[in-house]
Amino acid sequence: MEEAAAHNGSAGAGPARPPATPGGMALAYGSLVLMALLPIFFGALRSVSCARSKNSSEMPETITSRDAARFPIVASCTLLGLYLFFKIFSQEYINLLLSMYFFVLGILALSHTISPMMNRFFPANFPNKQYQLLFTEGSGESKEEIVNYEFDTKDLVCLALSSVVGVWYLLRKHWIANNLFGLAFSLNGVELLHLNNVSTGCILLGGLFIYDVFWVFGTNVMVTVAKSFEAPIKLVFPQDLLEKGLEADNFAMLGLGDIVIPGIFIALLLRFDISLKKNTHTYFYTSFVAYIFGLGLTIFIMHIFKHAQVSSAVRCTCNLALEAASWGINPLCSAVSDTMSAEGQGSAPFKLIRA
């Protein structure tokens, strides 16, 4: 589900707050931009090793053109369903259920995110044992794997550390804990969700652009859900941090969809750059700069017009830039016959445009 991007004020109605200072707004918006760029950059890098991985627990989920075409419809149904739930049932109980759900997901996502970094801090003589969680259906030749997850003792340590953050979020709903989960969700999304080609990405970005315009500017549904939905599906940063410190409560926010959706497109272009076996990553850096420009334009428009603005400008800018890039990629793809599997990078053929 898409979230309203950077907008003034925290979720929910409340007493009028004094306007944010220019310094506070600059700090908040700058921090949001930085937090948006980090999971895209590092998630794209990790998506390369993810595509090469032969571990079934780390295999990416490939998005096809049919999935991309359906996504705005599914997202619209989900958004409308949440809107109706908040209108009919008590907001308190719905958020309690959602908090428990995202508590579990957040712990798993954060554990997977910090695991590669934490491995560097374990001593060489650390007693690391291997484990496997396996669920199957049927027996004999008809046996089918449902879950096959491999992990070790180091992963369990990371899971315990992530659980501390999870309990902190569950009890306090602190914005730092929210951001740790949000960054983990974003990085995992960019790493594990792979587009099969550029045309699929263009379908996805174009469809979600229309989705954003309709649900934000045509109705009050997305803004209402964004203000009622208490879950780490957005990155937030207080605009009154300089005045109130860590207990600040006047937030600017950016939805995770505004990071993950362009991010998986940018990650695709990085994998293509690497498949060319050149020292330059032209397509990756071009799309990354386009995203920065689009995100900056979105924040500028939001600040000038004071509208609860989703990142339509982000997707519009990225879509145009990446669509233009795809025209340059198309002739290259017809000449490049290498596949990711030939390089040990997965079993599915890797191409950006179908010939």
Residues belonging to the active site: 212, 258
End-to-end CA distance of the chain: 32
Torsion angles phi and psi, residue 253, rounded to 5: -145, 160
Query: Is the separation of the CB atoms in 137 and 208 below 8 Å?
Result: no
CA distance 304 to 291: 20
CB 326 within 8 A of CB 195: no
| Burial call 3-38: b when 16+ CB within 10 Å, e when fewer | bbbbbbbbeeeeeeeeebeeebbebbbebbbebbbe
Which of 111, 67, 26, 113 lies closest to 261 in space, CA to CA? 67
29: closest CA among 313, 327, 292? Answer: 292
Q: How far apart are CA 27 and CA 30, in angstroms?
A: 5
Other CB atoms closer than 10 Å to residue 217's CB: what's the count? 13
Question: In this structure, what are the phi and psi dihedrals at residue 133, rounded to the nearest 5 degrees?
Answer: -105, 115
Is residue 195 within 8 Å of residue 269, measured between CB atoms? Answer: no
3-class SS at 212? helix
| Residue 61, helix vs strand vs coil | strand
Alpha helices in 193-281 (DSSP H): 198-212, 221-228, 241-244, 257-275
